Amino acid sequence: MTVSPSASSASTASSGADAYTADEMMTVAAARRLRSGSCFVGIGLPSVAANLARRTHAPDLVLIYESGTIGAKPGRPPLSIGDGELAETADAVVSVPEIFNYWLQPGRIGVGFLGAAQIDRFANINTTVIGPYDDPKVRLPGAGGAPEIAASCREVTVIVRQSPRTFVERVDFVTSVGFGSGPGDRERLGLRGSGPRTVITDLGVLEPDPATCELVLTHLHPGVTLDRVRAATGWDLTVAPGLRETEPPTARELAALRALTGGRG
Amino acid sequence: MATVVPLAEAVGNLVHDGDSVAMEGFTHLIPYAAGHEIIRQGHRGLTLIRMTPDLIYDQLIGMGCARRLVFSWGGNPGVGSLHRFRDAVQNHWPAPLEIEEHSHAGIANAYVAGASGLPFAVLRGYRGTDLPSRTPNIRPITCPFTGEELTAVPAINPDVAIVHAQRADRRGNVQLWGITGVQKEAVLAARRSLVTVEEIVEELEPRPGAVVLPEWAITHVSEAPLGSHPSYSAGYTVRDNDFYQAWDGIARDRDTFLAWMDENVLDRKAAR
């Protein structure tokens, strides 16, 4: 396989039958982290990756959307969390109070799969406002199901494009808690899930250091330099010993992804 | 006892300036026809309650009907921002909009408490987030049995709940199915309620898994065919995802938005 990703993360990796975009690498890397079990799926990037996992190595993955659809098997990633196909293909459709109270809150769901507008070194997520709350520079959609997904799923995976705007020292607003301000905070707050396990970006993969809870770089995607990741990170990034390179997408993964998205990446 | 009346009459009877109004439907069965009727009747000063404001509240906010918004996720699902909501919060156009912001779990439980005749709901939620510092209606509570610190939100008991359903019979018994969201809780929590339906039938055929709202728990039922568009009514219509995408362009600009509302909402009478 010949891969020579270009310098710009948004653009297409260059020539060759197996060329892929940085977004495709990110989605494939995220999908690989999902195994069998259940996954509470956010809309957008998480939904595409979760559906890719179900189409490739994890056919038994149970996709759960906050609209109350448990075990949805959509043919294409839905535009919203409540598209009709989710209900038509689900094992069960339950009310919104039930999905949050009976299924999410007691810790029945394995992986919470979230996006972010900002994420900080302790993997706290902001999807509420950029700038001050009372006079925001950008008013974002807000919390949705995310705070309780981040609290109660047994673990959390985050997928987010990496740039100095998204990877910040401190989020402007804590919508969903990762590790708060460091070790012990989740326990102190009574959050029963173990928190973020993996953050997958278009440049690489970050994981929390077990001792400090700080996100450290564990993988670089092919062709991405460490300098570039550092430049896209708003804090002094620690690199894990034994930094590895992500396996590039296989032809099968790319074909399945493009079949899902209609080639939109 | 539900009475079956035309939509304009139902909205006229039930919605008054300054009321708190919950129009629910979680992506599915959103009561657009009723929302448009509220806009046509020119109501002002409403407290609008909805988990996902969606395009329907983007329209009500942009038309100046709302004073306050209680919500948990204010985006255009899978598309991006609600531009009228953003413009109101960021630039106070067309009027300042107070917000009371929650998570989905918080609002869902507040409706459950409202429907249950309880003053508040308790949940494992919000802990460690910045939401309690911005929303006074999110407070810590200690479990009297274990001492564990949890979170309480007050019950939501709207003046009016409005939902859309697939069908009703002539007496006003309502049947809805598919993604049922928090519609049942919203109706049972509210002082008055309106259910718009795709069709009124002679007799409701029993349907496994359907939610049935008996006529004695509802104030008015109105027939509003296609009344959930661009949302959908499973078994009758499909979600108009193209319109949700087109709305991004329509709502981005104030004049384009107003022109669209003039042509598509204000100049039209309710279907019946």
For the stretch A51-101, pLDDT in tens is 999 999 999 999 999 999 999 999 888 888 899 999 999 999 999 999 999
pLDDT of residue B1: 83
- For chain A, the residue count is 265
Q: Cα separation of A151 and A176, whole Å?
A: 8
CB contact under 8 A, B51 and A148: no
pLDDT-derived band at B269 (thresholds 50, 70, 90) equals low
pLDDT above 90 covers a percentage of chain A that reads: 86
pLDDT above 70 covers a percentage of chain A that reads: 92
pLDDT-derived band at B208 (thresholds 50, 70, 90) equals confident
Residue of B nearest to A133 (CA): B134
Nearest to B228 by CA among B40, B22, B33: B33
Query: pTM of whole model > 0.80?
Result: yes
Select the more confidently predicted residue: A82 or B15. Answer: B15
Q: Cα separation of A190 and B149, whole Å?
A: 8
User: What is the predicted ipTM?
Assistant: 0.96
pLDDT of residue A263: 67
pLDDT of residue A14: 44
Q: Mean pLDDT of all residues in chain B?
A: 96
A185-221 pLDDT tens trace: 999 999 999 999 999 999 999 999 999 999 999 999 9
Q: Which residues in chain B (133-172) have CB-CB distances under 8 A to chain A?
A: 134, 148-150
pLDDT of residue A250: 96
Residue that has been written with the tokens 């993996």 in this structure: A198
pLDDT of residue A43: 80
- Is the Cβ of A76 closer than 8 Å to some Cβ of chain B? no
What is the arithmetic mean of pLDDT over B234-255? 97
- Is the Cβ of B104 closer than 8 Å to some Cβ of chain A? yes
What is the arithmetic mean of pLDDT over B124-147? 98
- Is the Cβ of A132 closer than 8 Å to some Cβ of chain B? no
Whether A5 shows a pLDDT value over 60: the answer reads no
What is the arithmetic mean of pLDDT over B259-270? 88
- Is the Cβ of A146 closer than 8 Å to some Cβ of chain B? yes
- Closest partner residue to B128 among A43, A95, A185, by Cβ? A185
What is the arithmetic mean of pLDDT over B241-264? 98
- Closest partner residue to A142 among B27, B101, B178, by Cβ? B101
- Is the Cβ of A176 closer than 8 Å to some Cβ of chain B? yes
Q: Where are the beta strands (DSSP E) in chain A?
A: 38-41, 62-65, 69-70, 92-93, 111-114, 118-119, 125-126, 129-130, 138-139, 155-159, 196-200, 204-208, 215-220, 238-245
pLDDT of residue A262: 83
Residue of B nearest to A104 (CA): B105
- For chain B, the residue count is 272
To the nearest whole Å, the CA of A53 is away from the closest chain B CA by 20
Q: Which residues of A touch B150 (CB under 8 A)?
A: 190
Residue that has been written with the tokens 């002094």 in this structure: A236
A96-121 pLDDT tens trace: 999 999 999 999 999 999 999 999 99
Nearest to B125 by CA among B113, B146, B108: B108
Q: Which residues of B touch A191 (CB under 8 A)?
A: 127-128
Whether A13 shows a pLDDT value over 60: the answer reads no
CB contact under 8 A, A80 and B239: yes
* Residue B272 identity: R
What is the arithmetic mean of pLDDT over A146-162? 98
B7 to B33, B37, B49, B109, B128: CA distances (angstroms): 8, 8, 20, 29, 44
Q: Cα separation of A216 and A58, whole Å?
A: 27
Whether A40 shows a pLDDT value over 60: the answer reads yes
Task: Respond yes or no: is residue A66 known to be catalytic.
Answer: yes
Q: Which residues of B touch A148 (CB under 8 A)?
A: 103-105, 123-125
Q: Cα separation of A69 and B177, whole Å?
A: 13
Residue of A nearest to B135 (CA): A133
B76-85 pLDDT tens trace: 998 999 999 9
Q: Which residues of B touch A136 (CB under 8 A)?
A: 89-90
Whether A17 shows a pLDDT value over 70: the answer reads no
Q: Cα separation of A90 and A121, whole Å?
A: 36
Q: Which residues in chain A (8-47) have CB-CB distances under 8 A to chain B?
A: 43-44
Q: Which residues in chain B (9-48) have CB-CB distances under 8 A to chain A?
A: 26-28
CB contact under 8 A, B128 and A177: yes
Whether A11 shows a pLDDT value over 60: the answer reads no
Whether B149 shows a pLDDT value over 80: the answer reads yes
- Closest partner residue to B104 among A66, A173, A177, by Cβ? A66
Q: Which residues of A touch B181 (CB under 8 A)?
A: 67-68, 82, 95-96
Q: Mean pLDDT of all residues in chain A?
A: 92
Beta bridge partners of B66: B46
- Is the Cβ of B130 closer than 8 Å to some Cβ of chain A? yes
pLDDT above 90 covers a percentage of chain B that reads: 96
Is A28:A249 a contact under the CB 8 Å cutoff?
yes
Pick the residue of A41, A51, A76, A79 with the most B CBs within 10 A to test the interface with B by mutation.
Answer: A79
**A with B: how many residue pairs have Cβ under 8 Å apart?**
175
Q: Which residues in chain A (90-109) have CB-CB distances under 8 A to chain B?
A: 93, 95-97, 100-101, 104-105
pLDDT of residue A261: 87
Nearest to B66 by CA among B91, B83, B42: B42
CB contact under 8 A, A145 and B125: no
| Angle at B104 (CA atoms; ends A74, B223), nearest 5 degrees | 70
Nearest to B180 by CA among A73, A81, A96: A96
